[in-house]
Structures are given as structure tokens and as C-alpha cells.
A and B are shown apart, each in its own frame.
Chain A
Amino acid sequence: MIRRIESTLLLLCFGILAAMAQTRTITGLILDKADNLPIIGATVSVMTPQGKVATGTTTDLDGKFRLDVPVADRQLTCRFMGYTTVTLNLKNGQTDYTVYMESASKEMGELVVTGYQQIDRRKLTSAVTTVKMSDEIIGGINSIDQALAGQIAGLSSVTSSGAPGAPVKLRIRGIASMNGTQEPLWVLDGIPLEGTEIPSMEDLQDIDNIYQTSIAGINPQDIESITVLKDAAATAIYGARAANGVIVITTKNGKVGKPQINFSMKLTYNPKTDIDRLNLLNSDEKVDLELGLLQSDYTYRENKGDVARILAGYGLTDAYKTGGWNALTPEAQADINALRDINTDWNDILFRDVFNQEYNVSLSGGSEKATYYSALGYYVEQGNVEGVKNDRFNLTLKTNYRINSKLKVGASVFANRRKQRSYLTYGDGFTNPVYYSRIANSYLRPFDENGNYIYDVNVQHSKGDDVADFNIFEERANTSNINTTTSVMSIFDAELKLDEHFKITSQFGLQWDEGTIEKYAGENSYAMRREKEQHVYAYSDGTRTILPDGGSNKITDSHQTQWTWKAMAEYQNRFKDIHDLELMVGTEIRHNEYKSLYSAVYGYNAMTLTSVPIVFPTERMAESVPLHTETFTENAFASWFATGSYTLLHRYTIGGSIRLDGSDIFGVAKKYRYLPLYSVSGLWRISDEPFMKNVTAIDNWGIRASYGLQGNIDKNTSPYLLGRYVQTTILPDHPEDAIRPDNAPNPDLRWEKTQNVNIGMDISLWDNAVSLNVDYYYRKGTDLIGMRMLPLETGYTSTNVNWASMENKGVEVALTTRNIHTKDFTWFTNLNFGFNDNTVLRETVAENSLTPSREGYPVGAIFAYRTAGLDENGYLLYLTPDGQKLPAKEYFQLNSAGASSLSAEERRNQLVYVGNTEPKVSGGFTNTFKYQRITLNINCIFNFGMHVQTQPSYSLTNYDRGLNTNHDILNRWTPDNPNGTFPRLLNSTDRPEEYAFYDNYNVLSMLDIYVKKQNYFRFQSIRLAYDLPEKWLKPIGIRNASVSLEGRDLWVIASDYHNFLDPETMGNPYATPIPKSFIFGLNVNF
């Protein structure tokens, strides 16, 4: 990865030796092969046989050169930093040449941007990976978090949902902490971003909660490169926020030269997802299931399902139960059989094929005094679920000025406006279309012959929801949920170079995010009916809702502001040509504010924008319908930091950094306000040793080592009782203030600390044909903070405690090879993977805990009860350690109330370790083939060694026969199907203890049979690009252009994911599956 450096000092020699011999004038143009842009400042020279420069020049702003060459010389050498040197053979009679130069490496050049500094890669002591953004990497994606999947060893990514704009969960080097965020810190051109946290998986299940992080606002097209800081040596300078790693985004700058106009366009086609994999029951099977259940002793929700409803309509329920099918009248039989003929394909009518678009145009250029880059971007993505849409409009303006030889200033503005549209799905899971498509019976029609909505009375089951009519198409038509975000990020920076050793830089960044979430429910919607039903009052003339007729509109406005100011003084010097010293000290202050305002109106008419005031009959009723809520929080931080490095003989480097963070965090004990975080590190560049001089195969070889301390404190738990003000009215007309202590105080809470060791090696061979980076890391976290369930007698359900210590060991390998390199054909391969081994070293398990200690197991350990099939009556059997098979009553020692009378410790001992939720190995595998103008890119990602706890296919006590389900239920034990492999449905009389146990305690999902392996290898992207020949383009004024065709997420090879759509989203039945997409791209440069 560290390439051979072509010293530009060679330039100093040029021209002096201007040949006395006869010369001719050669002119030419040097272009970058990747983007056909001119290369400015490339050296063109005539070399002596001894390898010295005889004569030479550099290219101008247009990439052109003119050089007088002795007639005898037949070759020119073209060099440019970061590019592979090209030897140009001169032909007789030709004096004008076009030379294409190719980037020497797939990675960035010499300077590594850490956000605080730019470090010479030859002095880099820490584990840092940089990815240069290219068309291949960006491909069909619209958000940068998606672009990182499979690109960087040690960075794992999990797609939370296939919905438009859904965020991606990124983890760097496994899980370091259990408390709070595990998200890396994102930094844009030196300024850390706010609002990058992704909601938990539970919140994502509620698709009402449409959500985007501030990352989603950044247009990938504006990005030059992304640097991921992995070890403590790199991240310590960012302080406590960087415990999960740092992702530094560097955006594009204008380059000195002629104005460049770039236009790009992408058209994407997403076919609808096929849900056949779910193995749902068809109408015939479902009718048979309902008929069978009615004759069985399973009585839960006996009135649900259309079969029960038809029988009840004819008054034949009891007749059927005793007499069976033949006891029914022909009319009843005909009605039931009619259900079998209806086969509504919910997948077909709820989902759709979509066509999406993206356009970007940028203008850049500049002179020695100033450069500029400005860009506009627009993209729109429609969801496979109709009515779901996401769009984004971007504006980027960047300028840099060189005021004089000492002072440089820059200003940039990143603005975007994005809008996510969906419809309201209320709180009830069944209104989520993805989930609904799985539970709606196929014998149900959504519309009658006249096109009127038919309400689904089977899916409803939670408290009171069955009194409100529900039809998913009506819901889609009459509700909306729109999240609009306007975001502006502005960065100003200045650099004052006092002399060649001393430099002061300062940067000010301002981030504004203004968001509006508007949730509208029309009068004719389930959401509105349901809400009305929830607010009823017994008036003297009858009971009815207190809400007026009409719809509702609920708006949440949020304003987030942060500013960061930092100032740094840097000193660097070289003594006696062998001692390099670099020092930097700095300070940073940061302030953020978050404000939100919620407002609701009822009796709302979207056409007239009018609403009706609510007349509340009592104060208590008024409290239940809040119309206005506000929140406001404010935080301030001040930090000091310093780094230093010393390099001896250009090959031995030691470095260190320290940071002290102070914050206003209220209620945190003084002694916990500060914890210095620091790191020390070293680098040995073996390839620069004298004894390596003759080893020409090795271009670069270095060994790095670092140690650092990272830390974190829980900001929500205070040692003192900390409350917030609320309003309450206990007796009429007497509202009062009250103080609500939301969390139990914990005076014993300490900082959690993570020690971090990293040892790495970088080597590149044979003119960069092979470059390999290997890192070994060891992270040990002590006093880790985690949530512990409390006995409810404390008044709280949980609190945060220092619960454990844990270690992460891992190896990361990144291997880039140039397999074939000929004039017409090249083949590059990049393989990267991270191997992570996480072990909990110590975990204090509370006396009351039902789950065992994870000591010796990974933090993502899944524990399950060992089952041993079914007994002769279809009840689950459990396996004891000595091989006995016991029914639940004996195994759990159930009392008459269905509660286990075993002690917590005995319960813990029953659970056995069955797998880990985190991958053992994850990585990416990319192949790039180039044949003349054609490029083929195949990008794959993989995760191995993961397990997931899936939802049981059906509940033993609460399977609702009104809902559709998968085929597992047909394979359950029944008296007629004694060989069924799945447990029977239970009734409350045969084994009342077992019934109460399964009914009241969450045991079923903790059985080993529902834990699935999650290994997969995904063909993430296959992309074919073609660079159009210049001779076609030149006449129409186009410098260069390319077209591409890409297929994304076309295939996945995975361990068994039977009954699930995708191995990645097995744990979440509400998530929109990841769609396949086909993308056509066009890129034009003027």
C-alpha cells in the first residue's frame, strides 16, 4: 500500500543540461486513465542511460507539455506522484502524444487524513485504512454508510432493512462496550457530526419510526476518500466519543486547472421481492387448519378466522365441534369451500416494481490563488412497498484561498434537504405492510366487487383494536407519515504558517439539522378510528369518543445545532537530517443544543387545513391527549489534546497522544468528569534499512505497534437522585409540579476503560503487485457498563452498573494483488477480512438473573434450553445434563401457578451456550477486471459464524388462528399426526401448569430449536463499465464519458434460512427485505 515514491526533486535538475545536440519539439497531453482528467504537474523527462535526468519539464494547467528532445533520444519518462511511471516510446514523424497515467495503488497517496492532522504515511504508527471513493465503490448506493460494506478489514456492516434510506449498522473491531452507542464517530472534513446514532433493532421494527442519521444527508459523489481509524493510537485524540472507532470523510476539492464539469446519472430498477420463501399457508391449507383446530381442544381465540365466523353465522359452531363436517348444512359447507377458491396474493398486490433515479452535476477548478468545487445532486428512491419514498437534494460549495505565502483559508457549505415518505402504521405490528403480508389470510379479499374496502377482522388482536375497521389499502390511501430534514453544515478553516517549522491552524464547524415529522391520519383510517376508540367518555347521553369528527395531524419539529471550534499549534523540524520531530497541541470546544416541539390537532381536514378544538370533559381526559410538548437539552464540552512523534533515520518512529475531555454533564460526580485518554505507538520501516537495499522485490515493509487507553462514562446514570419536572393533577383544578426520577441513582458507577494493543505489518512487493496489511489487536475492557435487570422491589426495572470485563482479540488482513497486468488487460483482487474473538472475562451476574454469566463466552452469547423432541402427547421434552428427557413440569419444577420453583441459580444452570450473535469472520472480496475500455467489478461480502434467535413460528398457547403462518404449524403434533416434529398447541386443562408456564413466561423463544446459524456470502455488486472512445466524444465537446450496468444484491449463498426472506434480516419479521436492483449509470466530463 505504501508505494514507491517518485521524488519530485528530480525537477531541480531539469533544463540545465539543455542539450547542445540537435533537438526536436515534442508536445503532448497527460491524462488520468481513470477519469480522463488532465494531470497537472507531471514530470516529463529524458533519462540518461545511468538513470539521471537529462532534460525535462512539467505539465501545465491543461495537462499539456512541450519539450525539446535530442533527436537521438527515443524515450520519454512520465512521472507523477501516486501514479505508475510511464515510458513513452517516440515514433518517427509523430510529435504530439497523449499519455494515460494510472494510479499506482487502489488506495490514497502519501498523506493520511486523521481529521486533526495529515500524517505522512511513512510515519504512520497506527491502524488506519483509507478508501478512495470511486465509481466502482459508490456503484448503485445512495448513502456512504452503505458504501463501506466489505471494503475495510475489521469493519462489519449489517443492513437493518431494505427500506429506502434505511441506515446501515457499522461496527469497527467488534463490540467494545455494552452501554449506549456502539456507533463509530463520523467526522466530516475535521468536524465530528452529530445525530449519527442508529435506533435499536426494536425501534426499527416499528416502521412508523422512519429514521435517518445525518450521514444520510451526505452525497457520496462529493466524497474524495474515507479513512477509518481503528486502534487507540489513531482514535485517542478524539477522546471518549471515539471508543468505537472513527470514520473520517474527506470531501472533494477543486483542483488547479481548467473548469471541470462532471455530470452523472443513475437509473435503478428494483423488482418486487418474492415472498415464496416464507412458506405461508395457502387458502386451502388455512381453511383445513381452522377446521381442524375447531375440533381440537385448543380454544385460544376460538371465534377468530373466517371458518369460525361462517359457522357462528349459521349457528353451527357446536354442531361442527361434535358432529364434524357432515353435521354442517350444504350452505355452510359451500361457504367454507368458497374460501378455498380465493387466493389473494398479498405479495403481488402490496408490493411493486420500482424505477429510481439519481442525477449529479459538479463544477470545479481553480488557480494557484483559489480553488472551488460546487455540486448539485438529486436522487429519489421509491420503496417496493407502495407509498414509501425517499429523496434527497444536495448542494455543496467549497472554496479554498491562498491569501499570501503564510495564510490559507477555506470555507465550505454542505446543504441538503431530504424527505422520507411513508404511511402511518400506528403502533400495532399488523399495520406494517411487510408484516401484514405474512399474517393476512389468503382467503381474504381486500376489495369487494364494487371496489369497496373489505375490512380484515382477523388480524386484530390487541386490546380494543378489533372495534376499529382495518384495511391495509385504505390505510395506505388515507394516512401519511413524512419526515423532512433540512441540514446545513458549514466549515471554515484557516492555516497560518509562521515559518517552515511552526504552523497554527483553526477550524470552526457549524451543523444545523432541522427536521419535521408530520403524521397525518384521515378520518377513514384505522389509525384514526383506533385513536378515537381509545379516548371515550361516558357522557350523560351515552358513551362516545371525546375526539371530534375528522382526521388528525401530528407534527414534531426538531432543531439540532452544534458548533465546534478547534485550534492547534504544530511544530515540526528536522535536525541533522536524521531527527524528525513533530509536535502538536490543541484545544477544542463544542456546544450542542437539541430542541423539539410536538403539536397535534384533531378534526383535521387535509384539504382545508382546518381543525376542530377538542372539548375535554375532564382534566384527566385532557391529560391523555397531549396537544403540545417541548423538550430542550444543551451540552458543552471542552477538550485539550497533544500529539507528538519522533523519527530517527527516517525509519524508526515513536509517537504518542493524549486527550482530556471536560463536559457539563449534570449530576456526574466531580471525580468522574475527567479521565485522560492516551496512546503510545511506534513504527519500524524495515524496507529502509541499509541491509534491505538490495532486496528489490520489497517496495515497502514496516511494522507498527501501539498501546492506548480509551474510556467512557454513562451519562444517564447519576450517583445522585436526578429528576425532571413534570406536571400532574391529582385533585381537580389543582395542577402541580412533580419531580420524576427516571433512573435509579448508582453511586458506585465508574468509568469503563478499554486498553488497546495493536501490532501491524504492511508489506508491498514487486512494484506493488502484492500488498498486504495484517493487524493483530487485543482490546481489554474493564469495568464495562451494562444494563442490569433489577428486582422490581427496587421500584425500577433496570439500572446501569459496572458489570464486566471483556476482551476482543482479532486479526485483520487486507490483501490487494495485481494478478494480471498487460497493456490491454488487468485484474486486481482485493480480499479483506477480520477475524474477531470476543470473550467475557468477568461478569457479575445478579442474584436474581435468570440468564447465566457469559464468563468464558462471547458477549453476544445465545443461551438456550436444550430440548429433546416431543413426548407421546406432543409436549416438549427437555434434556437434562445426565441425558434424561423430562417434561416442562418436572424440568422446571413448576408449581400450580405455572411458575418455576427452582432458584435463579438452578434456572441459570439449565441454559446452555449455543452460539454467538456476532460474526467470527467477516469481510469483503472484490475483483476488478479491465480489458481495454471495459471494466468488470465483482464485489462480495461475507459473514461467518453468526447465530440468531428467531421468533418461534407459532406460540403454543397464543397462536391466533385468525392469522396466517408458515407451514411449520402443519407439522405440529396432533392426535392424527403423531409423527409431527413441532410441539402441540396447548389447552389450559390437560396440563395447567405447563400451559400457565408457556403462557406467562417467555420460554419458547429461548429454546435451542429456534436458534439458527447465520452464515452468508453475498454478491453485493456486479458492475460492468465501458469508457466511450474519445473520438466519438470530441466532436460533441465531451472530454470523456462512461456507461455502466450494475446488479446489486442479486445472489446470496447462505446457511439454512428456510422460512425467511434473507439471511441478514432473519431476526426481524418487520423489516423490508433487501431488494435486488439493476442500475444503469452514465458519467460525462466536459
Chain B
Amino acid sequence: MKKTCLNILGLIAVLLSLAACNDFLDIQPVGKVMPHTAQEFRDLLTEAYSFVPTDRGKTVYRSDELVLNQATTTTEGLDSYLDIWRWQDGSEDETTESFNWRTFYYVSYIANTVIEQKDAITEATQEERNQLAGEAYMLRAYMHYILVNLYAEPYTHCDPATTKGIPLKLNSDVKAVLSRNTVAEVYASILSDIDTAEQLLNVETWGEGETYRFNKLSTDAFRARVYLYMGNWEQAYEYAKKVVDTHGELEDINASNTLPNHYQSVEAILSLEEVFPVEYQTNGQVNPNLISLYRSGDMRRSRFYRAETASITRVEKGGGNEFRCTFRTAEFYLTAAEAAMELNDMDNARHYLTELMKKRYAAVMYPRYEAEILAMTREELRQEIYDERFRELAFEGHRWFDLRRTTRPELTKTYNGETYVLQKDDPRYTLRIPPEAIEANPGLEEE
């Protein structure tokens, strides 16, 4: 009997300690969180924004914007970028920087999570939920847009319906093994995401320091660019015009101290990608051919570049996060001009081009160039628009993509006495999918 009593006593003691344990085990870990609220999902999206790769900027090495040489490029610059610059694909030195793959999808993963959990977000108004999801759709579309332009043949030079593009990642499932969608499918998905985002986004302008986030206007800007890359001139013209109509003010380089790609410039629409980070400034020289493309009276030559010595010219429109820039107004003047020209609407083509030129050339010189533009044939004007695009948007991550979608010309580079040639329509205009991605998913390379 005594034994039973003691056992019961013991049992009671154990049960009591069980009850007391719930509080003991209830530890909220410091610094860890499972997102539920609008603020937490905003913080999650901030993570995604901060990881948006700057690979569009890395293409400055690939294109004809920079010159690398032993005398002025830092060793680190040569180690990291020389083989990208001279198109040495497949036999790069192991120190060569690689273009991103996973990071694009990491951003998409967060975007997909936000999209899927949109309706479960707590402590939020419907507007806030919609805005978060809208930005997530835009982020996902933008990641797919850069990937397809780095790793797939240009839409304008292939049969988009049959050419392999990149895998579309449209959910947060980590088990699925994807294969490559066609280029047409990728572009269709991008456009559809922008359409969805347009329904959801409701912030017109973000506050100081938050203009890296997608706003309502960015949907039209993004569409204009996507249609331009597809060679869909009507749509490119329509959306570029919409951007210019609502956000048409240009930075007057004659009067303003602010460079047009600065995040506080009047032209800024979306200040997301840090296209030209500080280390690029010491890694290469501005291509002299580009410098010579700026005619006398073009104020951009002295504002965009700084001659350090006779042989060293540095890029001034980058080198810090104040030059984050994804969409800015001038691009859409040029897109409108190019699209109008392709649609044979020469008046409007000239109109949009000269509107931009007014703000870029010294007032005394401008009339001369305006007269030249008015006298140009369509072919001459096309080249002029290409050149103006190069002059205006150099080092902002446009050049390589523009070369790809337009003529894919032959490029020549010289390093240490040796000449390297990228042939016209060279397959190296399309990057190889990084080996680590193929190793993790051999299906990307399967025939």
C-alpha cells in the first residue's frame, strides 16, 4: 500500500512539472521570425530587392563600353573580368566572376512566397496586400526578363516559339525540377505578370529612399522595354509614349547638377539596380570609340566621364548606390523615337529624339544637330537613334542587350597585343548557363 502511495505521489509530481513546462519552453528566439504581418512581408520583400543581381551592369564588360589593359586595370579587375571582356567562354581562368543564376531565382522565390501568401497577410489593409503582391509580380517578371536576355537567344533573332529560353519559376515549390521554357513562353509570362501587377499596384510615388520599389508607372515602363526587345513596335511606342506623357520631364544637363541616372533625378522612375558599382570604376577605361561618339557641344562627355590622366578616363555616372537606376525617362524618349522610326512615323521619331537632345547639348550647338536630324533619311535616323541610345545609356546596362536585339555587330578588342573578335551574330552573344546550374539540374543542357 505504501508503495502505491509513493508511486502516486511521484506521478503527481511529474504531472505538475509537465504543466509548468509550457511556459519554460515558450521562448521567442531573438532575431528570428515567421512572416505574418504586412510589415514582416515588407521586410521580406526588402530582402528580395536587396538581392536583385547587378548582372545587367556586368554586361558592360561584355559589350564595347569598356577597355581593359594591363597598364590601368587593377589586378583584381583583370582576374575577375578579363575573360568575360574578351569573350573567353569555356576556358575562363578560375578567378573569373560568374554571371548569376541562382540569385535571380532566390529573388523570385521570395516574390512567389509573397504572391502565394498574399491573402494571409495580417495587420494589413487590402491596398497594402495588393501593393506587396503587385511588387512581387513585377520582381518575378523582371528577374525572368534579365535571365532570358542573358542566357537565351534574342527574341528578335530566333524563332521564339521553338527556341529554348530559361525555366520559368512561378511558385515557391522547392521540389520541382524545371526545364527550359521557350523564349515566347518566357516573354508571355513576363507580360502577363506585368498585367497582374498593374491591377494590384496602387502606390504612385514612394518616399525618399524607397524609390527602388515598383510603383504604378513602372508597369508601363517595363512593358515599353519588353515590347522593344520583342520588336513589337506598336506596343513599344504606345507604352513609351504613356511613360513620357505622365513622367516626361528630363534633367537639363546644362542647368542641373544632378546626373540623369541619379536616384534623385527628375527622370528616376525606378531606382533598383546598382548597375555600375564602385569597383568597376577602377577595373576599366571608357572605350575611346565611345568618347569620340560624343560630338562637340555634347555636355554628357564632360559630365558622364572624368579624364584622370591623359590615358585614364573614369566613369562618373556610377560608383555608388546613389546611381541605382532601372527605369528613367530618357530611355522612353529613345524607345518612342526608335519605335516611331520603325513604324515609319518619322515626325514623331525626330520629335522624341530632339526633345532629349535639347537637354543634352549646349544651347549654342543644339540647332546645328537638330537641323542634321531633320535632314536624315530613315536609315540614317535609325543609326542616329542607336548612337544616341549608346551615348545616353552607356554604363547603365543597356548596351549589350541593345546590341543583341538589334544588329549583333562584329566587335573587336585588343589586349596585350592580341586581338579578340566577336563575330557578327556570334553565338557568344548569348551567355552559357553557368556550370553550377547545369550540375544542379542537368536537364538545362539536355538536347
Asked whether A11 is an interface residue with its Cβ less than 8 Å from the other chain, the reply is: no
The CA of A902 and the CA of B438, in the complex, are separated in Å by 11
Quote the shortest CB–CB distance from A141 to chain B (angstroms). 39
> Does A891 lie at the interface of the complex (its beta carbon under 8 Å from any beta carbon of B)?
no
Residues on B with C-beta less than 8 A from A89 are none
The answer to whether the Cβ of A1034 comes within 8 Å of any Cβ in the partner chain is no
Tell me the residues in window 197-214 of chain B with beta carbons closer than 8 Å to chain A beta carbons: 208-212
> Which residues of A lie under 8 Å from residue B80 when comparing CB positions?
463
Q: Please pick, from B29, B43, B277, the residue contacting A634 in the complex, using a CB distance under 8 A.
A: B29
Q: Give the residue among A543, A587, A791, A957 with the most B Cβ atoms within 10 A.
A: A791
Beyond A721-B35, A958-B94, 16 additional pairs, beta carbon < 8 A: A467-B74, A501-B3, A536-B282, A571-B3, A636-B24, A737-B43, A738-B46, A791-B441, A848-B440, A848-B443, A897-B90, A899-B435, A988-B91, A996-B90, A999-B90, A1001-B439
A-B contact pairs, 13 of them (CB 8 A): A536-B279, A621-B278, A635-B27, A636-B25, A721-B34, A729-B321, A738-B44, A794-B169, A796-B102, A848-B440, A897-B432, A900-B442, A1001-B435
Asked if B412 lies at the interface with its beta carbon under 8 angstroms from chain A, I say no
Is A722's CB within 8 Å of the partner chain B?
Answer: yes
CB distance from A624 to the nearest CB of B (A): 10
Say whether A1000 contacts B90, CB under 8 Å.
yes
| Chain B residues within 8 Å of A501, by CB | 3
Instruction: Name B residues whose Cβ lies closer than 8 Å to a Cβ of A.
Output: 3, 6-7, 10-11, 13-14, 17-18, 21, 24-35, 40, 43-44, 46-47, 49-50, 74-76, 79-80, 89-92, 94-95, 101-102, 105-110, 113, 167, 169, 173-174, 176-178, 208-212, 263, 271-272, 277-279, 281-282, 314, 319-322, 324, 432, 435-443, 445-447
- Whether the pair A640, B14 counts as a contact (CB closer than 8 A) is yes
Taking a contact as CB atoms under 8 Å apart, the answer to whether B32 and A900 are in contact is: no
Judge whether A463 and B76 touch: CB under 8 Å.
yes
Question: Quick check: B321 and A587 within 8 Å, CB to CB?
Answer: no
CB distance from B10 to the nearest CB of A (A): 4
Binding stretch for chain B, among A435-443, A646-654, A661-669, A1060-1068: A661-669
Report which of B32, B271, B319, B438 forms a contact with A538, defined as CB distance below 8 A.
B319
A995 near B90: Cβ-Cβ < 8 Å: yes
Interface code A886-909, partner B: CB below 8 Å = 1, 0 otherwise? 000000000101111111100100
- Among the stretches A117-125, A693-701, A740-748, A853-861, the one at the interface with B is A740-748
Closest 8 A-B residue pairs measured CB to CB? Answer: A734-B209, A795-B109, A996-B90, A791-B441, A464-B76, A988-B91, A795-B106, A792-B102
Residues of B within 8 A of A585 (CB): 10-11, 14
Whole-angstrom distance from the CB of A895 to the nearest CB of chain B? Answer: 7
CA distance A898 to B90 in the complex (A): 7
Measured in the bound complex, the distance between the Cα atoms of B7 and A569 in whole Å is: 9
Q: Taking the complex as formed, is A726 at the interface, i.e. its CB lies under 8 A from any CB of chain B?
A: yes
B446 CB contact (under 8 Å) in A621, A795, A903: A903
| Chain B proximity of A728: nearest CB distance (Å) | 4
Q: Which residue from chain A places its CB closest to the CB of B114 in the assembled complex?
A: A721
Q: How far is the CA of A405 from the CA of B181 in the complex (A)?
A: 82
Per-residue CB contact flags for chain A residues 708-746 toward chain B (1 = under 8 Å, else 0) read 000000000010111111101111111011111100111
Q: Which of A598-651 contact B (CB under 8 A)?
A: 618-621, 631-638, 640
Q: Which residue of B lies closest to A895 (CB)?
A: B445
Q: How far is the CB of B442 from chain A (nearest CB, A)?
A: 4
Contact with A731, one of B79, B106, B177, B212 (Cβ below 8 angstroms): B212
> What residues of A have a CB within 8 angstroms of the CB of B95 in the complex?
461-463
Closest B residue to A570 by beta carbon equals: B10
Write out the residue numbers on chain A whose beta carbons fall within 8 Å of the beta carbon of B321: 618-620, 729-732
CB distance from B9 to the nearest CB of A (A): 8
Instruction: Tell me which of B18, B94, B177, B447 contacts A901 (CB under 8 A).
Output: B447
Closest to A673 in B: B25
Query: What are the residues of chain A within 8 A of B106 when measuring CB–CB?
Result: 795-796
In the bound complex, how far is the Cα of B301 from the Cα of A1011, in angstroms? Answer: 61
Q: In A455-492, which residues have CB < 8 Å from any B CB?
A: 461-464, 466-467
Which chain A residues lie closer than 8 Å to B438 at the CB level? 899
A846 touches B90 (CB 8 A): no
Chain A residue numbers with a CB within 8 Å of B74 are: 464, 467, 536, 543
Q: Is A75's beta carbon under 8 Å from chain B?
A: no
- Residues from chain A with Cβ under 8 Å of B18 in the complex: 638, 640
- B24-A723 in contact (CB<8A): no
- The distance from the CB of B117 to the nearest CB of chain A, in whole angstroms, is 8
In the complex, per-residue mask of A82-99: 1 if CB is within 8 Å of any chain B CB, else 0:
000000000000000000
Instruction: Give which listed residue, B6, B31, B324, B446, contacts A725 with CB less than 8 A.
Output: B31
Residue of chain A at shortest CB distance from B280: A538
Pick from B50, B439, B446: contact of A738, CB below 8 A: B50
Q: Is A343 an interface residue (CB 8 A)?
A: no
Known: A589-B24, A740-B47. A793 touches B34 (CB 8 A): no
Whether the Cβ atoms of A723 and B33 lie closer than 8 Å is: yes
Indicate if the CB atoms of B29 and A739 lie closer than 8 Å.
Answer: no
Given A589-B21, A724-B31: A789 and B440 within 8 A (CB)? yes
User: How distant is the Cα of A983 from the Cα of B272 in the complex, in angstroms?
Assistant: 49
A378 interfacial by beta-carbon distance below 8 Å: no
Query: Which chain B positions have C-beta within 8 A of A462?
Result: 95
- Does A448 touch B at the CB level, under 8 Å? no
The CA of A907 and the CA of B442, in the complex, are separated in Å by: 9
Answer whether A741 and B102 are a contact pair too, CB < 8 Å, given A618-B278, A724-B32, A895-B445.
Answer: no
Report Cα–Cα, A862/B106, bound state, in Å.
Answer: 32
**Interface: A295 (CB within 8 A):** no
Which of A498, A741, A789, A795: most chain B Cβ within 10 A?
A: A795
Taken together as a complex, chains A and B put the C-alpha atoms of A174 and B160 apart, in Å, by 55
Contact of B436 among A744, A792, A996 (CB under 8 A): A792
Contacting pair A899 B21 (CB below 8 A): no
Most buried by B among A537, A899, A1001: A899
A790 at the interface (CB under 8 A from B): yes
B440: which A residues are within 8 A, CB to CB? Answer: 789-792, 797, 848
Q: A728-B46, A741-B110 are in contact. Are A666 and B32 (CB under 8 A)?
A: yes
Q: Which of A667, A741, A793, A999 is in CB contact (< 8 Å) with B105?
A: A793
Interface string of A737-780 (1 = CB under 8 A from B): 11111001110000000000000000000000000000000000
Give, as a whole number of angstroms, the nearest-CB distance from A619 to chain B. 7
Cross-chain contact B177 with A846 (CB below 8 angstroms): yes
Closest to B18 in A: A640
Contact assessment for B79 and A738 in the assembled complex, using a CB-CB cutoff below 8 Å: no
Would you give the 0/1 interface string for A473-517, flagging 1 where the beta carbon is closer than 8 Å to chain B? 000000000000000000000000010011000000000000000
Asked if A850 lies at the interface with its beta carbon under 8 angstroms from chain B, I say yes
Q: Tell which of B3, B25, B76, B102 touches A662, judged by Cβ atoms closer than 8 Å.
A: B25
Report Cα–Cα, A999/B435, bound state, in Å.
10
Q: How far is the CB of B443 from chain A (nearest CB, A)?
A: 7
Q: Contacting A796 at CB < 8 Å: which of B30, B35, B174, B272?
A: B174
Judge if A799 is at the interface, Cβ distance under 8 Å: yes
The verdict on A999 contacting B91 (CB below 8 Å), with A638-B25, A730-B49 known, is yes
Whether A848 pairs with B177 at a CB distance below 8 angstroms is: yes
Contact B324 A731 (CB under 8 A): yes
- The complex places the Cα of A733 from the Cα of B209 at a distance, in Å, of 7
Residue on A with the closest CB to B49?
Answer: A730
A724: chain B residues within 8 A (beta carbon):
31-33
Residue of B with least CB distance to A591: B24
Shortest Cβ distance from B427 into A: residue: A896
Taking the complex as formed, is A847 at the interface, i.e. its CB lies under 8 A from any CB of chain B? yes
A533 at the interface (CB under 8 A from B): yes
Contact partners of A498 in chain B: CB under 8 A = 6
On whether the beta carbons of A737 and B24 are closer than 8 Å, the reply is no
Once the chains are docked, how many angstroms separate the CA of A89 from the CA of B67? 103
The answer to whether B212 touches A739, judged by C-beta atoms less than 8 angstroms apart, is no
Q: Nearest-CB distance from B81 to chain A (Å)?
A: 11
Residues in chain B near residue A633, CB distance under 8 A: 29-30
Residues in B with CB closer than 8 Å to A732 are 209, 263, 320-322
